[in-house]
Amino acid sequence: MKKNVLVLMLVLFSSVTVFAQTTIKGSVVDAVSNEPIPQVKITIEETLQTILTDARGEFSFTENVPLGEQVLKLEKNGYISARYPIVVNEGGTVDITDMQMQIDVSNTQDLFTVTLSDDELSDDFSGADNVSGLLQSSRDVFLRTAAFEFSQSFFRVRGLDSENGTLLINGVEMNKQFSGRPQWNNWGGLNDVVRNQEFNNGISPNAYNFGGLLGTTNIDVRASHYRRGGRLTYSSSNRSYTNRVMGTYSSGLTKGGWAYTISLGRRWGEEGYQEGTLYDANSAFLAVEKQINENHSLNFTGIYAYNRRGRAASHTQEVFDLKGIRYNEWWGYQDGEMRNSRIRRTNEPIFMLNHYWKLSPKTTLNTNAAYQFGEIGNSRLDNNGVSKIENIDGTFSYEGGGANPSPVYYQKLPSYFLREFPEDPGIAFGAQQAFLNDGQINWNSLYQANISNAVTGKNAIYALTEDRNDDQQLSFNSILTSELSDNIQLNASVNYRKLKSENFGAIVDLLGGNGYLDVDGFADDISTAENDLNNPGRIVQEGDRFRYDFDLNAEVIGGFAQAQFRYSKVDFFLGASITNTQYQRDGKYRNGAFPDNSFGKSEKLTFTGLGAKAGATYKITGKHLINVSGAYLSKAPTLRNTFANSRENNNIVPNITEEKIMGGEASYIFRSPIVKARLTGHYTQIQDANEISFFFADGIGGVAANPEVNFDETSNFIQEILQGVDKKYFGAEFGIEAQVTPTLKLKGAASIGQYTYDNNPNLFISGEGFVDNNNNDVGFIPLGQSNLKNYRVAAGPQQAYSFGFEYRDPDYWWFSATANMFADTYIDISPLIRSENFATDIDGQPFNDYDEDIARELLRQERFDDYFVVNLVGGKSWRINDYFVGFFASVNNVLDEVFRTGGFEQGRNANYRQLRDDRALDTPVFGSRYWYGRGATYFVNVYVRF
């Protein structure tokens, strides 16, 4: 430490040379290896001017350089930030070469990535979502707290999900067109090489694109931007994987203008915190860059990340009470091995070519082409395989189907037996004992049923199937950055992307069966049972497509322009964007229930998105800043929320339109040498959003009563389409850190928000068998409005607080502890239960025993208990010759607090009577389903750097 200060002083006093123009230039090197560090963000604190060091670690400021005593701030992920005081004289040049940065041995990024992208609940299918990945590179104490301390609670910054953040790799957008969210698994296990991240928080200018309200993260994977050297890492954890091995080597920029980086990673484990959640992931990364000359550079990056994991289920409280929070219904033993029926596989390699062109000293043009292809598969057990019975008279029928293999199927749980046999509790007790003693999938019984069926020439009853998503996406963009004048920077980009997404069901394992007959075993008659009328009665084998098969085609063209103005007291920016989005479904099967609108292409949908944003920062003094910004954007709904029932037909969500998002924020920022703090108020409105979900509903009396619809069953699989949803988010966030002594830092963060539905959106349901009086399929049935207004959006805890400290010993060891409190976490409510259907009897009249007070109580939104989580982390590093050896360990939720992170109401009891009767039971049969946070878990990491 003392040595560094000495170096600094020398630099400081050797730096005065006279030129006509005032200039600050210099370079940054690694404090240990003396290798130059590229992509270090250098900020002049008073004016907030920033610049990044180049591949040689060099930088220079030539415009509007402030005079007098100034402070340069050096920041880069993986390094401890540094501040260097300098003195600037008019017309002089400050040349401050070889500023040193220390590797951040605490390296919280590793910790963070293990809780985030590895987390079970971050997948699209659980309904939960984690935005922390967007925040990991932030330096802001609040956002870092949100990323590292709050992420295990599925806290969402400002209540917004990750759809509202944009994730770029080398400037190419990685948010999926299907869900709007980034697919973290696509670069999982490559932590060493996705470390170079640039994050722009909230509504702020960024050089690449318009971005969302949560900001933009650009992961820089240019080969020349990696520091020369290598790293080997081994980690062990009981969170998701058991073991992780990673190795990375970067050449740095060689004299020939070449640079390359290679990284390999493997993560594996038989079981994570939840039972039966296997982990199996391999990753590989290669980036090669050639600096052709001063002005041109060409980079190739290839990312391969194969990931296969066993998923964990949500459960009702009854199940948690019996089996605990680690229980997972989805696995069972086969041949003595745990076999999980719900495997999520992702394998979507990315290849990109990037061209960097310095058009002039003040203008750069970055052009990128990327191709991503591959597959995502989510497996599940199918229990409805049938066989074609051909009769002697030429007629035939489809016979078969099996029992639900889920050990928590409601008819197997004690609550069901208590309801059905209230006078004989011994039956419920017997069921409870059976569930306690086993409660897992019985694979052998499935094999047995299939094999004995095969003996008689029949097809498989049970099959392990996969819902597949095979995407091919081509992206192209061009990003222009130009310093128009001393004070004005222009950013502009054009973007194009074309996606072909093949969606289909596939057979993974026939479980000893002969074949699987591709018809819908639930259908009432033979004609609607066909999944593909063009190939009726097809028997499929392992690997074959079945049940549904369609392409979603999307094409997006966009443009973005932005101007940033920087003056001594005020910085401001203006930005605008326009996007054209086209969607089309192309059905490959002619579905028996929808023969006229399932095969072939759907209507082509076109959406126009417009965006405008503006903001200003007023620098009262270097210590006090005020920042105000606002944005409006309209955008195409995601593919997922566009097609009403895409597996079966070409129907489009009724009244579909662009989603509108408006937001504004105002911040006060305080910076002193000891204390840094930020207080922000924010407000966001989302309008005309759609939400589609899919489930089995009992009691959709409102449908049966609709005079235009001929549907006499009162229970069915349905798609629930919530259309025209408005939501309102507002609140405040606060972060503070104080370096009370050179070794001790205190930090605190708080977020208080109110995130609610802001209207009563329209509710439609769609499904098979909704036909009008002329037997034409009506596609979907309006159920009127769902009374959601003022209900809370299920957006994680709406209040979160954190307080903690970091101790950093000069002897290269460190320790940090935080206490975190969470409140106002709400359950995801069922819109169906809050529609008119709720009070409607089968004849279309209100229930004669409807009691408003009881109804209000039934419809009250459940708020989860507040909870308190303590996290600890500490580590040490050693230098051995040219090698660094580091170690750290963290324990999350040290106190083993049991808490719910999320949950949803089951839509199965869709009307007043059913819900009332179910709730009246001691243990509801269709109680809400929950996810619980993990208890105490550990993560240990050792690494060698060279």
Chain residues 382-421 in contact with another protein, contact rule CB under 8 A: 386, 389-395, 397-404, 412, 417, 421
Residue 924 sits in the site that holds another protein (CB under 8 A): no
Sheet holding 315-316, edge to edge: 315-316, 929-932, 900-904
Q: Which positions from 215 through 234 interact with another protein, judged by CB under 8 A?
A: 230, 232
In which element (H, E) is residue 584 found? strand 570-587
Instruction: Report the nearest approach of another protein to the CB of residue 242 (Å).
Output: 9
What residues contact 910, with CB distance under 8 A and at least 6 apart?
A: 697, 698, 699, 700, 701, 830, 832, 833, 837, 838
Q: Tell me whether residue 1 or residue 392 sits nearer to another protein (CB atom).
A: 392
**Exposure of 52 by Cβ count < 10 A (0-12 exposed, 13-18 middle, 19+ buried)?**
middle
Q: What are phi and psi of 907, to 5 degrees?
A: -80, 10
- Residues between 334 and 373 with contacts to another protein, criterion CB under 8 A: 334-335, 337-340
Cβ neighbours of residue 291 closer than 8 Å, sequence gap 6 or more: 55, 224, 253, 257, 258, 259, 297
* DSSP-derived 3-state class of residue 741: coil
Q: What is the DSSP string of 120-181?
A: GGGSGGGS----HHHHTT---HHHHHHHHTSGGGT--GGG--GGGEEEEETTEE-B-TTTSS
Q: How far is the CB of 390 from another protein (least distance, A)?
A: 8
601-617 burial, b for 16+ CB within 10 Å, e for fewer? ebeebebebebebbbeb
In whole angstroms, how close is the CB of 926 to another protein at the nearest point? 18
- Among residues 842 and 891, whose Cβ is nearest to another protein? 842
Please report where in the chains the tokens 């090489």 appear, as a residue.
Answer: 193
Per CB under 8 A, the segment of 145-153, 427-435, 694-702, 820-828 that binds another protein is: 427-435
State in angstroms the smallest separation of the CB of 58 from another protein: 19
Instruction: Give 575: exposed, middle or buried? Use CB within 10 Å, 0-12, 13-18, 19+.
Output: buried
Minimum CB distance to another protein smaller for 420 or for 596: 420
Q: Which of 436, 740 has the CB closer to another protein?
A: 436
Q: Which stretch binds another protein (CB under 8 A): 129-137, 256-264, 713-721, 789-797?
A: 256-264
Of 339 and 590, CB closest to another protein: 339
Question: CB-wise, 262 or 612, nearer to another protein?
Answer: 262
Q: Which is nearer to another protein, 264 or 721 (CB)?
A: 264
* Least distance (Å) between residue 902 CB and another protein: 27
Residue 525 beta carbon to another protein: minimum distance, rounded to whole angstroms: 4
Minimum Å distance from CB 526 to another protein? 7
Taking CA atoms, 159 is separated from 112, 136, 640, 728, in Å, by 20, 17, 21, 10
DSSP secondary structure string for all residues of 423-481: T-HHHHHHHHHHHHH--S--HHHHHHHHHHHHHTT---S-EEEEEEEEEEEEEEEEEEE
Query: What length is written for the chain?
Result: 946
Q: Which listed range, 42-50, 251-259, 371-379, 917-925, lies at the site for another protein (CB under 8 A)?
A: 251-259
Count Cβ atoms within 10 A of the Cβ of residue 364 and give its class: 0-12 exposed, 13-18 middle, 19 or more buried: middle
Provide, rounded to whole angstroms, the least separation between the CB of residue 511 and another protein. Answer: 9
- Site map 431..470 versus another protein, x via CB under 8 A: x-xxx-------xxxxxxx-xxx-xx----x---------
Cβ distance to another protein smaller for residue 401 or 630: 401
Give the range of 205-213, 424-432, 715-723, 887-895 binding another protein by CB under 8 A: 424-432
Backbone angles phi, psi at 829, to 5 degrees: -85, 155
Contacts to another protein from residues 78-107, by CB under 8 A: none
List the end-to-end C-alpha distance of the chain, in Å, as a whole number.
Answer: 21
Q: How far is the CB of 18 from another protein (least distance, A)?
A: 34
Counts of helices then strands in the chain (DSSP H, E): 12, 47
Name 643's Cβ contacts closer than 8 Å, sequence gap at least 6. Answer: 552, 583, 585, 602, 650, 651, 652, 653
| Span interacting with another protein, options 27-35, 428-436, 484-492, 636-644, rule CB under 8 A | 428-436
How many CB atoms within 10 Å of residue 708?
Answer: 9
| Interface with another protein: number of residues (CB under 8 A) | 76
Distance of CA 57 to the CA centre of its chain: 33
Residue type, 851: D
The nearer residue to another protein, 524 or 866, going by C-beta atoms, is: 524
Q: Is 690 helix (H, G, I), strand (E, B) or coil?
A: strand
Q: Which is nearer to another protein, 446 or 552 (CB)?
A: 446
Q: Which stretch binds another protein (CB under 8 A): 259-267, 627-635, 738-746, 826-834?
A: 259-267
Based on CB atoms, which residue is closest to another protein, 365 or 526? 526
CB 121 within 8 A of CB 901: yes
* Residue 252 and residue 227 in contact, taking contact as beta carbons nearer than 8 Å: yes
Element (DSSP H or E) covering residue 418: helix 414-420
Choose between 294 and 525: whose C-beta lies nearer to another protein.
Answer: 525
**685-724 residues near another protein, rule: CB under 8 A:** none
Alpha-carbon gap, residue 697 to 832, rounded angstroms: 9
Range 523-542, binding another protein (CB under 8 A): 524-526
Shortest distance in whole angstroms from residue 601 CB to another protein: 32
Quick check: 812 and 877 in contact, CB under 8 A? yes
In the complex, the smallest distance separating the C-beta of residue 450 from another protein, rounded to whole angstroms, is: 9
Name which of 399 and 596 has its Cβ closer to another protein: 399
Residues 260-319 that bind another protein (CB under 8 A): 260, 262, 264, 266, 268-270, 278-280, 282, 308, 310
Within residues 608-637, the interface with another protein by CB under 8 A covers none
Smallest gap from residue 596 Cβ to another protein (A): 21
x/- binding map, residues 177-206, to another protein, per CB under 8 A?
A: ------------------------------
Distance, CA of 547 to CA of 647 (rounded, Å): 8
Nearer to another protein, 61 or 443 (CB): 443
- What is the footprint of another protein within residues 480-519 (CB under 8 A)? 509, 512
Minimum Å distance from CB 524 to another protein?
Answer: 6
- Of the pair 308, 747, the CB lying nearest another protein is at 308
Which uninterrupted H or E stretch holds 918?
helix 912-919
Of the two residues 712 and 843, which places its CB atom closer to another protein in the complex? 712
Binding residue for another protein, selected from 243, 715, 773, 776, defined by CB under 8 A: 243
Give min distance, CB of 343 to another protein, in A.
8
